[in-house]
Amino acid sequence: MTALSFANVGKCYKVRGKDTFWALRDFTLDVEPGEIIGIVGSNGAGKSTLLKIVSRITLPTTGAIVVNGRIGSLLEVGTGFHQELTGLENIYFNGAVIGIPRREIDAHLSDIIDFSGVRDFIDTPVKRYSSGMYTRLAFAIAAHLDVENMFIDEVLAVGDAEFQRKCLAKMGDMAKSGRTILFVSHDMNAITRLCTRAVWLERGCIMSTGDPQKIVQDYITHSVPRGDVVNINTLLDRLPEDPTIKITGIQISQNGNTPNVFFRDYPIKIEINYTVSKTEPGLRVFVRILDDRGTMILRSYHDVKGAMILNPGEYTSTLIIPKEYLSHRNYEISIGALVFNQRACTGNIGEGVRIPIQVETIAPTDCYPEEALTYRPLIEPNLIWETVKDK
């Protein structure tokens, strides 16, 4: 017997009178008991609408859903928390709201308070709590919800790195206990780590369903990156004229594609096309990698293997950034040319063409699974370790 069965579920909203807007269309999916389904998609893709329908908060316009077993939804942490009530009072009220019977709360009260780490303030109204305390208490209660089907929306996107780690571990436990979970998140690490299957939604429709790593990769590759798409040709046109060298084209690619987002799990290829009009000793083409604050992380020249005089002609230089070298964060790639010890050919030294890129990871490392951006190193090469037990 399936745990959840969606058949052609759709939700249509009326927008200002006559216009209609389909937030979700023809959603069909069967979920087996114990599956953890991750739902990814850009904002407005219909993820939250789906969770609201299956949680019975709003009704579908079309289709049908059959849910076997009790339903619990955690669409936010601390639903129904009242500012004037104390931590303890809110534990009972919030518990009742999300569906934890009072006797369960009584039985786990000590666990909940310990997990939240607010024991000293449990009789203080929550309006005096810091947002961290508030969130920890709320999650501690939610973690004790024990139903067959759980629908979770971005609950993990709160709190500091340490607390997020704790929450993910708790989610993992829930998953292992055989509960069926539908999980919406923008945190791709969480999706690939926790889910057994993923669904990619876009504009209300299912784009694809399947293995979380594959889906996350598809989603990231096709989704529009943060910020504007950079037109490399426009940047090239803006370069100052140089008597010796003209850069005519740049391609940054991975696995034969030119995606919006790169993966550190594959090599990144940078190809530079240029025309040299006269021989000038010391002419070099360079690539620099900068972090998102503009600090140079590394620099490399086309003749790194040995001096190479560029006689007049058309050239293509190719640079490969090996796999598992960059970290998952935002970088800027700066490409240009200079005459060694004399002048820069492409604007000020180090300027060149600056192309922002976003690097993600498909397989998060198990050591540091859910690090905040600020903890990520500038580069993360695959260094060689060996550990031997001596005694």
Partner 1 sequence: MKQTIILPNKWNFFGFKEIPKYKELLWMFIWRDIKIRYKQTLLGIAWVLFQPIAMMIILTLFFGVLIKVPSDGLPYPVFFLSAYITWVIFYDGLMRSYASIVQNTAIITKVYFPRLIIPIAGSLAPLVDFTIAFTLLLVLILIYGLTIPYTIILVPILIVWAISLSFGVGAFMSALNVKYRDVQYAIPFLLMVWMYASPVVYPASLVPPHLHWVYYLNPISWIIDGMRFALFGLPMSTQSVIPAITITGIIIVGGVMFFEYYENKFVDFI
3-class secondary-structure state, position 198: strand
Tell me the closest approach of the beta carbon of residue 284 to partner 1, in angstroms: 60
Helices 87-98 and 102-116: angle between axes, nearest 10 degrees: 130
Tell me the closest approach of the beta carbon of residue 73 to partner 1, in angstroms: 6
Half-sphere CA count of 229, side-chain side, radius 13 A:
9
Identity of the residue, 82 or 222, whose beta carbon is nearer to partner 1 in the bound complex: 82
Identity of the residue, 112 or 335, whose beta carbon is nearer to partner 1 in the bound complex: 112
Identity of the residue, 148 or 324, whose beta carbon is nearer to partner 1 in the bound complex: 148
CB atoms within 10 A of CB 67: 19
Tell me the closest approach of the beta carbon of residue 50 to partner 1, in angstroms: 12
How far apart are the two ends of the chain, measured CA to CA in Å? 53
Tell me the closest approach of the beta carbon of residue 76 to partner 1, in angstroms: 6
Tell me the closest approach of the beta carbon of residue 11 to partner 1, in angstroms: 9
Compute the residue count for the chain: 391
Tell me the closest approach of the beta carbon of residue 126 to partner 1, in angstroms: 12
Identity of the residue, 106 or 314, whose beta carbon is nearer to partner 1 in the bound complex: 106
Tell me the closest approach of the beta carbon of residue 14 to partner 1, in angstroms: 8
**The residue to which tokens 């951006």 are assigned:** 373
**The residue to which tokens 């989610």 are assigned:** 171
Tell me the closest approach of the beta carbon of residue 47 to partner 1, in angstroms: 15
DSSP state of 126: G
Contact residues for partner 1, defined by CB under 8 A: 13, 52-71, 73, 75-76, 79-80, 82, 84-85, 89, 92-93, 96-99, 101-102, 125, 148
Identity of the residue, 29 or 67, whose beta carbon is nearer to partner 1 in the bound complex: 67
- State how far the Cα of 104 lies from the Cα of 352, in Å rounded to an integer: 64
Question: Who's near 96: CB < 8 A, 6+ residues apart?
Answer: 102
Identity of the residue, 70 or 343, whose beta carbon is nearer to partner 1 in the bound complex: 70
Identity of the residue, 7 or 230, whose beta carbon is nearer to partner 1 in the bound complex: 7
Question: Who's near 361: CB < 8 A, 6+ residues apart?
Answer: 189, 263, 264, 265, 328
Query: Closest Cα to residue 311, out of 341, 340, 282, 277?
Result: 277
**The residue to which tokens 């927008």 are assigned:** 15
Identity of the residue, 156 or 287, whose beta carbon is nearer to partner 1 in the bound complex: 156
Question: What single-letter amino acid sits at 16?
Answer: R
By CB neighbour count within 10 A (0-12 exposed, 13-18 middle, 19+ buried), where does 151 fall? buried
DSSP state of 352: S
